[in-house]
Structure 1
Amino acid sequence: MAISEELFFLDPSFEGTLQKQLQHAVAEGVLSGRFPVGARLPSSRRLAQHLGISRITVTLAYTELVANDYLTARGRSGYFVSETAPRLPEFGDAPPAEDRVDWGRHLVAGHSRDARVARPADWRSYPFPFIYGQTDKRLFDHANWRQCALMALGQRDFSALTEDYYDRDDDRLVEFIARHSLPRRGIRARPEEILVTLGAQNALWIASQVLLGPGRRAVRESPGYPQLRDILGESRADVLTVPVDGRGLIPEAVPAGADVVFATPSHQCPTAATMPMERRRRLLERAAAEDFLVVEDDYEFEMSFLTPPTPALKSIDRDGRVIYVGSFSKSLFPGLRLGYLVGSAPFIREARALRALMLRHPPGHIQRTVAYFLSLGHYDALIRRMSGAFQQRRAVMEEAIAAHGLQVAGRDALGGSSLWMAAPPHVDTEDLALRLRGEGVLIEPGAAFFEPGARPGHFYRLAYSSISRAAIPEGIARIAGAIARF
């Protein structure tokens, strides 16, 4: 049997070289059974002519497929599907299944929640994406990241790539965090006081599971990080909220009997307020007097391009009451999912044991890649580039906001990557966001950051991390126009 070249076509959306795309097409055909054992592939000349590509590209693809045992070469006869090519197992046609399980009886807890900060999967296709937390590929250092990834895949780092760390972390990454990242926040920590996590959200979950449970009392900010509300809901603890104002969490508002207070003092989520030093000291004084702990989520501290960052709450803690959460996901890219916990050795020991039960450890080659990217200076260069771009974008955004009379409800005096906005009270920003999508504009409605049943509908967040400086004025103009039409 001969396989016709008409079965092959090029997909413009394929992310990879022409050679890789051709390899993928042949491998997929073999695995799916469309290309049976012994079938002859089109000659390199005919396939190249059909696809309009170089003949050497086809030859290199075939050669790689031979090396991987998908194809076999037979002298002058050409290339054929190998008799020992990988195949998917055949189980026959399974009868259609009908779900007869009463899941309401078997699901012991509901993990899905009612409020999310929704973002369309194709957000990059929108011309005015004022959305938070995504990577701007125009700023990211692709070349050096790729080089660090290749170094981590090398023979010298074979053990970092392949070995099970059990409950340990990459020594190089932990050392860099201890000697470079934490001192920038005024924090000193030993390796046994640091635990690598799958991002800040994973760190918050681990902390809540170790510190909370039935009969314990947790306190969090309102408005606040929506996922933290969900995380604390899983702890079975009594969860209370404390209000924030233009200077962040109010220490005197923390209710009596608290066991753990979760706070974002350097960059409150979502208002971007920064807690001043006197409030930080009062919070720690209350923690010492009433014997509660503080979990400090220190996200986005690197984006302090307006004024130097305020020292972390952990840096002025003299009693070991603060558990510090850091992350590389915001400053590198969110898909990385790498962060860390810093706390006293007894806490980290329990956190490490819990992590080992759940996921053992974050992938070793990811840890080693990040360790190289940090230690070779690429991370600091990236932060400087991002800070410069964000400062310019913020200036353009604030000028456009002022020109169109929009109201800023909260801005980070240090920098950051977003502004917390307030529309007129009669404007429902969920509805506003839907209307703006039709005009190519993405905003984030603010209701998800508040408590169910007490959610003001007129707040929204505008981020400038993923939108170009040139697109900001027109995007703000469209937002102002949509609000005016309400």
Structure 2
Amino acid sequence: MAIPVETFFLRPGDQGTLQARIQQMVAEGVLSGRFRRGEKMPSTRRLAAHLGVSRITVSLAYTELQASDYLSSRDRSGYYISEGAPEPPDFPETPRAERVDWQRAMGRRFAAGAVPERPADWASYRYPFIYGQADPKLFDHANWRLCAVQALGARDFGALTQDYYDRDDPQLVEFLIRQTLPRRGIQARPEEVLITLGAQNALWLASQILLSPGRRAAVEDPCYPALRVLLGQTGCALSAVAVDAQGLPPEAVPDGTDVIFTTPSHQCPSGATLPLARRRALLERARALEAVIVEDDYEFEMAYLQPPTPALKSLDGDGRVVYVGSFSKSLFPGLRLGYLVGAAPFIREARALRASVLRHPPGHIQRTAAHFLSLGHYDSLVRRIGRALGERRQVMEAAIRDTGLEVAGVAAHGGSSFWMRAPEGIDTAELSSDLQRDGVLIEPGAPFFLRPDAPRNFYRLGYSSIPSERIAEGVGRIAQALARPRSQS
């Protein structure tokens, strides 16, 4: 029996090359049971014409499928589903009726929490003023690919296949200790460094180790929304400390605080930089409280306007600062690679906790990153991103000035976003929905605040993933939406 060519189609939005998508299409048909052993495939010429692709693309896909035993070829007859192709299990379908009361069955909840959301297809919007996404045009794909290939080679085979258990790639750790951390004024030993699956994983590890019911954490208000969710999972008491134009006021940290979470280099989301005097005062306040400080330095590489202020960790003579770093903003968010730096007893516990959950980040990813960093590609990329963001920032500043929008906070050293304030009475969640229909994406500000009476008129504009030539028009559309009568917004 021949498989009709009409059953094949390329789904819009699928990722990968045309060849890979054709392979996946056939494999899914086999694994789902729609295509059965011995059935004849459409000819390469006919399938190519039907899909609107070149015949060589279909031929290469068929060849790969034949190599993996999904297809077999017969002389002068064409391609068939192989007799050795996988067959779906022939299990009888079990009748299902939901009789479990999951509200009662679940002992703990993790889905609650106001974390900002963005459309999955954000890249298709013309004016995506969203934070934390990479611009693929700026990334060094060629050298990253070469480093990945190098990490797959025989010399690095151990890094690819070995189970490190609770260890990390020694080359990556060495680069961090000798190159990355000294730029922040931090000196560390290997036993004081742990590789994590991004900054959020690092913050989770820190919160799980340092906090428990009965302990108290102080966080900046506004702050990173996901941090609030992480801390809520520990059962600790939570104090919100309002930030000002210079970041976290040390004297406002309440008595009884055990852990202080702060973003001194680029306060999230306002962008304020904690002055050197306040950094020293914060260390003194932590010493008086016998508290630990968790320093989230998530964006220090984006200091393209002037050199970054030394990290809080670099001023720490007591070993009470736990430092969190990430490559998500400077490489790409999907990499999910970050690190923790702290006293050896803390890192030992963090290593044990990480090993009980995920062992370690994939060895191949760690080794690829180590090559990319050590060969100088990372520094070149950071400089290129800095130049691009500097240009976009200038365009943003001009557009904001021309349209009369109000800036509530902006990073003095660089960064990739503006913290904005809309007029009183504007709910930026509603504004966001209105703008989304006009092709503009912004981030409403309410989820960043801890207090229940959070102001509704703040919002964040990121510029890392929007081209310079679209910024002015996008900002103009925001201004137009804010100028509409309330009944139309």
Shorter-normalised TM range? over 0.9
The secondary structure found in structure 2 opposite 1:249 is: coil
CA deviation profile, 1:242-270 (whole Å, cap 9, x unmatched): 12100000001111121111110001011
Query: What's the CA shift for 1:12?
Result: 5.7
Aligned partners of 1:203, 1:173: CA distance in 2, in Å?
16
Shift, 1:425, TM fit? 1.1
Query: CA distance change for structure 1 residues 130 and 58 in 2, over 3 Å: closer, same or farther?
Result: closer
- Equivalent residue for 1:93? 93
Query: Which stretch of structure 1 is more off in the superposition, 205-214 or 15-24?
Result: 15-24
Aligned to 1:221: 220
Q: Secondary structure of the equivalent of 1:182?
A: helix
1:19 aligns with 19
TM-score for both structures, normalised by structure 2: 0.95
Which residue does the alignment assign to 1:265?
A: 264
Quick check: 1:121 aligned with 2:120? yes
**Alignment deviations for residues 162-213 of structure 1 (CA, whole Å, 9 cap, x no partner):** 2211001111111111111101101011111000111111101101111111
Q: Structure 1 residues 293 and 35 mapped into 2: Cα distance closer, same or farther (>3 Å)?
A: same
Task: State the match for 1:379 in structure 2.
Answer: 378
In structure 1, distance between residues paired with 2:110 and 2:6? 49
Q: Which amino acid aligns with 2:363?
A: G
Residues in 2 aligned to 1:214 and 1:46: alpha-carbon distance in whole angstroms: 66
Aligned to 2:66: 66
- CA distance 1:7–1:103, change in 2 (3 Å): closer
**CA distance in 2: counterparts of 1:59 and 1:251, whole angstroms:** 66
Tell me what 1:238 maps to: 237
Using the size of structure 1 for normalisation, the TM-score is 0.96
Secondary structure at the residue paired with 2:217?
strand
Query: Which residue identity lines up with residue 221 of structure 1 in the other structure?
Result: E
Residue identity matched to 2:285: R
Structure 1: stretches of 5+ with no match in the other structure: none
In the alignment, what sits opposite 2:80?
A: 80
2:403 aligns to what? 404
1:455 is matched with: 454
Q: For the residues of structure 2 that align with 1:260 and 1:9, how far apart are their CA atoms?
A: 55
Amino acid in structure 2 at the alignment position of 1:64: E
Opposite residue 135 of structure 2, the aligned amino acid is D
418-427 or 155-164: bigger deviation: 155-164
Distance verdict in 2 for CA 1:441–1:257, change over 3 Å: same
Residues 1:249 and 2:248 aligned together = yes
1:329-373: CA deviations, max 9, x gaps?
111111111100000111000010011111111111111111111
SS in 1 for 2:3: coil
Amino acid of the residue matched to residue 127 of structure 1? R
Cα offset, 1:34, TM superposition: 2.2
Of the structure 1 ranges 259-268 and 286-295, higher mean CA displacement relative to structure 2 is found in 286-295
Tell me, what secondary structure is at the counterpart of 1:390? helix
2:240·2:451 contact (CA, 8 Å) conserved in 1?
Answer: no
Distance 1:320 1:3, change over 3 A: same
Q: 1:112 to 1:452 in 2, by over 3 A?
A: farther
Match of 1:435 in 2: 434
- Indicate the residue corresponding to 2:295 in structure 1: 296
Name the SS of the counterpart of 1:319 in structure 2: coil
How far off its partner does 1:236 sit? 1.6
Shift in Å, 1:15: 3.4
Decide whether aligned partners of structure 1 residues 134 and 77 sit closer, same or farther in structure 2, where only a CA change above 3 A counts.
same
Cα deviation for residue 326 of structure 1 reads 0.2
Which amino acid is the alignment partner of residue 30 of structure 2? V
Query: Aligned in 2, Cα 1:447/1:378: closer, same or farther, shift over 3 Å?
Result: same
Question: What CA distance in whole angstroms lies between the structure 2 residues aligned with 1:116 and 1:108?
Answer: 22
- Alpha-carbon separation, structure 2, partners of 1:57 and 1:460: 46
Alignment match, 2:338? 339
Q: Which moved more, 1:339-348 or 1:50-59?
A: 50-59
SS in 2 for 1:302: helix
Alignment of 1:147-226 (within 5 A): 147-226=146-225
Cα distance between partner residues in 2 of 1:57 and 1:442: 37
Letter in 2 for 1:411: V
RMSD: 1.7
Query: 1:305 — aligned with what?
Result: 304
- How far apart are 1:143 and its partner, in Å? 1.5
Q: 1:45 Cα shift?
A: 4.4
CA deviation profile, 1:422-462 (whole Å, cap 9, x unmatched): 11112111111111112111111110011242200111111
1:21 and 1:116 mapped to 2: Cα distance? 33
Deviations 1:72-111 (A, max 9, x none): 233344332222212222213332x221212222222222
Q: Distance in 1 between matches of 2:456 and 2:12?
A: 42
CA displacement at 1:114 relative to structure 2: 4.1
Aligned partner letter, 2:426: V
